[in-house]
Structure 1
Amino acid sequence: MPRKTAFLYTDDFLAYDLGGKHPLQQRRLQLVDRKLASLGAFETITRLAPTSVDEALLGRVHTAEYLEVVRQASKPNHGLDLRRYGLGPGDTPAFPGMWEASKVYAGGSVDAARLVLSGEAEIAFNVAGGLHHAHPWKAYGFCVFNDLALAITTFLEAGLERVMYVDIDVHHGDGVQVCHWDDPRVLTLSLHESGRWLFPGTGGVEETGGENAPGSAINVPYASYSGDEVWWPGFEQIVPEAFERFAPQALVLQLGADAHFADPLAHLQVTSRTWMRAVEALLVLGKDIPIVVTGGGGYNIATVERLWTLVALTCAGLSCPDSLHDTEVPMLDAEQQRTARAYLDSQLDALRGGLGW
């Protein structure tokens, strides 16, 4: 169903540069923007440059100590011991201009929330957003600031009482869960490869929210190498019911493209058509409420370009060329899929029991 859609993009996103050999290469974002332009999508989709996030808002998600460390670590010769703050060497190395670059991608998700709150857009897509591993006090998993928590906080401060977050990245949305662990106004729902096999090692079905917010976190973990016939039932059996029970007033989506079978950093075997089936289902569920869409993980650049272009076109109700979908699909081992389905079924039984569904 067509909806008034905004797309947040600037070439300044490329300044979030973790290094030439790092798996996270932000030229993938530029490729999505250029692909949409080549398809004439911006005749329908409103393309906007993001603004830098307000520092006061940053302080409502991240600690003052951590923010000051990020600011100082962005300068040369800072002389700081950054290990306790997650800023490398390692997954998330500090880099010159990190403070400014991180504020821009985070600002894109805040802008997206404000656009849909004001009615200027019904759906707003910050393609650089989705950095879901950042914690209030540390960087983690390629993520410096948690733009998703900032978007959710923007909704809450505008007076919304129920905001639902859905994450289909292959990695658990741990940072968003941590930020809103004890807040009954926020439901975080993550579908991911199980932490038994994949970073960050969290996201078990027993993680269901803090003392003051029982049931506010839902996790659907999958066995490695789960294909479409396993992944889709997990989505179908949990997400619509969670939406109906919670009745959110706004939806924040993290659409990491790394659950796709061609991604080099994980093991799920989801195809573009099944992944987009989930995206389409989420857009239908949220048809009457504001939606913020973000990117996230995705380390096969060609796959990211295709999938996030499909997302933007679908949000706006535009036709999607078949060329954007997979031309080949993975060959899956039948016994492995039976094992994966048995694992999922056991996890869903435990999840429903823990939630009292």
Structure 2
Amino acid sequence: MTNPQIRFIHSKAASSYQFEKDHPFHPIRYDLTISLLEHVGALSQTDILEPPKYDMEDLLLLGHQESYIEAIKLLSTTQPPVHLKENAELYGLQADDTPYFAGMHEAACSIVAGTVHAVEEVVQGRLQHAYHMAGGLHHALPNRAAGFCIYNDAVIAIRAAQRQHQIRVLYIDTDVHHGDGVQLAFYAEPSVCTYSIHETGKFLFPGTGYHYERGIEQGYGTSINVPLEPYTEDESWLNSFEYTLRKTIQHYKPDLIVSQHGCDAHAYDPLSHLHCSIGIYERIPQLIHELAHSYCNGKWVALGGGGYDLFRVVPRAWSYVWLEMADHAFLHQLLEAKQKRNLTPLPKGWLQQWSTVTTQQLPLYWQDEAGSIQAIPRREEITARNKHIAELSVQDM
């Protein structure tokens, strides 16, 4: 580790946050990403910080109702009560989306602990940046699980920090699915601005996140949504992102950025309809890093989130977050090669290690090869619609 002010936070217990074997939300994404970073010399096991133990009873109540927490605990046992099994859907634990499993309470608590620790360390000034890759479970609601999310770690961590510190927080969500659980938690609170850029809810779960969702009461104006059209490509996505995020942060002027880096807007992702390349996942952390230093004295916490092309997309996208956050020398090699229009090969050792685990053809390069993603014929129409929505999203700033 070259900079003690920057830490990679990860609990081994997060790997037990696993639904059925073939469920799209699979913890192998963590191993794939850590392995890729190790192969390029950007991370070692000694660099990884295990979060401490917390009083979870106290913390969970910052984001969830007590009756819901008790139900999660009981459904986490090897033999849950029959009445809860029969009524699990009342708590959002649906078999085809977020099914309950033995040990889910403990696994979800380990993820909450990681995000709480990341935010706490940065707010206290002991760290400048922190990356908690397993965090970002942004769909969980006060009394319901949703979208593979049981406890909303971002909500809990932000509220825990605000109990001791009067801070203004900008929450940035780049997952292809709207960050509905975080928005709902802070919809009436002026001390947290929630920004989400995502595929429009007209066609994608959770069906929310329209540009006119602006907050209520004292929180009006602190909810910013940028819903994009299906089949949006890199240029339109990035133009919408840069324009609206710069306007948002200039207007809000936060003390801390918490960013969620779901990487399911990629064209390969099976659970969405956007058509971006790995190029947006190189640029996203670059811009957030720049803005953190310009507006927040560098205070930045990054979380993971969604991403369901586990082998071809997630490891590369999430590695870019850490490489940027750590300002690692390998990132500069990637950027130099890009300027020369050269592709940078993925490490042979990483490819050999993981090619035996999947039947998918692994990518050979950090960048997507030319022609690997087909162009969309409605590009001009989609771009024009996205530009209009982006302007509406921040028109009052």
TM-score higher than 0.5: yes
Structure-2 change in CA distance of 1:45 and 1:256 (3 Å): farther
Whether 2:153 is the aligned partner of 1:144: answer no
Aligned with 1:326 (options 368, 373, 377): 368
Determine the C-alpha separation between the residues in 1 that align with 2:258 and 2:232: 25
- Taking the TM superposition and a 5 Å limit, the aligned residue runs for 1:303-342 are 303-318=313-328, 319-320=330-331, 321=334, 322-323=344-345, 324-328=366-370, 329-334=372-377, 336-342=378-384
- Corresponding residue for residue 70 of structure 1: 72
CA shift for structure 1 position 3: 8.4
| Cα distance in 1, alignment partners of residues 4 and 283 from structure 2 | 17
Q: Which has the larger radius of gyration?
A: 2
Deviation string, structure 1 residues 183-241 (Cα, Å, up to 9, x no partner): 00000000000000111100000100022211010000000000012101111111011
The one-letter amino acid of 2:256's match is A
Kept in 2: contact 1:50–1:105 (CA 8 A): no
Note if contact 1:52-1:106 (Cα within 8 Å) is conserved in structure 2: no
- Structure 2: gaps of 5 or more residues: 335-343, 346-365
Q: What is the number of equivalent residue pairs in this alignment?
A: 353
- Give the TM-score taking structure 1 as reference length: 0.94
Structure 1 residue 77 displacement after superposition: 3.0
Runs of 5+ consecutive residues of structure 1 not aligned to the other structure = none
Provide the residue aligned with 1:61 in structure 2. Answer: 63
Give the letter for the 2:64 counterpart: H
Residue 27 of structure 1 is matched in structure 2 by 28
Aligned to 1:343: 385
What is the letter of the counterpart of residue 9 of structure 1?
H
| C-alpha distance in structure 2 between counterparts of 1:77 and 1:132, whole Å | 26
Structure 1 pair 141/155, CA: closer, same or farther in 2 (3 Å)? same
1:282 aligns with 2:325: no
What letter is aligned with 2:107?
A
Q: 1:127 deviation in Å?
A: 0.8
Amino acid at match of 1:263: D
Question: How far 1:119 sits from its partner (Å)?
Answer: 2.7
Aligned-pair CA distance for 1:152: 1.4
Which residue of 1 is the match for residue 355 of structure 2?
Answer: none
Q: Scaled by the length of structure 2, what TM-score is found?
A: 0.85
Describe the SS at the equivalent of 2:219.
coil
Alpha-carbon shift at residue 88 of structure 1 (Å): 1.7
Structure 1 pair 106–232 and aligned structure 2 pair: CA distance change class (3 A): same
Q: CA separation in 1, counterparts of 2:148 and 2:290? A: 31
| Match of residue 184 from structure 2 | 178
Deviation at 1:28, TM superposition (A): 0.7
- The alignment status of 1:220 with 2:226, answered yes or no, reads yes
Q: Deviations over 1:39-70 (max 9, x none)?
A: 22236993111235522011011111111111
Match of 1:135 among 134, 141, 149: 141
Contact 1:28–1:304, Cα closer than 8 Å, also in 2? yes
Contact conserved, 2:11 with 2:110, CA < 8 A, in 1? no
State the one-letter code of the partner of 1:332. A
Distance 1:218 1:129, change over 3 A: same
1:116/1:292 contact within 8 Å kept: yes
Q: 1:292 aligns with which of 301, 316, 319?
A: 301
1:293 counterpart letter in structure 2: A
Question: Structure 2 CA distance, aligned partners of 1:158 and 1:82?
Answer: 35
**Deviation of 1:11 (Å):** 2.8
Whichever residue aligns with residue 317 of structure 2, its letter is: L
Partner-residue secondary structure (3-state), 2:394? helix
| Identity across matched positions, percent | 34
Provide the C-alpha distance between the structure 2 equivalents of 1:199 and 1:52, rounded to a whole number of angstroms. 33
Q: Following the alignment from structure 1 to structure 2, what is the Cα–Cα distance between the partners of residues 27 and 162?
A: 34
Contact 1:123 1:315 in 2 (8 A): yes
Deviations 1:88-133 (A, max 9, x none): 2221100000110000011110010112123332111111001100
1:122 equivalent to 2:128? Answer: yes
1:270 is matched with 276
1:145 is paired with a residue whose SS is coil
Letter of the structure 2 residue corresponding to residue 242 of structure 1: T
The residue number in structure 1 matching 2:338 is: none
CA contact (8 A) 2:178 2:201 kept: yes
Q: Per the alignment, in what secondary structure is the counterpart of residue 284 of structure 2?
A: helix
Evaluate the alpha carbon distance shift between residue 258 and residue 52 of structure 1 in structure 2; reply closer, same or farther with a 3 A threshold.
farther
**What is the letter of the counterpart of residue 306 of structure 1?**
R
Contact 2:11/2:114 (<8 A) preserved: no
Q: 1:187: which partner in 2?
A: 193
Q: In terms of mean alpha carbon deviation, does 124-133 or 155-164 score higher? A: 155-164
Q: For the aligned residues, what is the CA RMSD?
A: 1.7
Looking at structure 2, the residues matched to 92 and 134 of structure 1 have their Cα atoms a distance apart, in angstroms, of 10
SS at match of 2:149: coil
Match of 1:207 in 2: 213
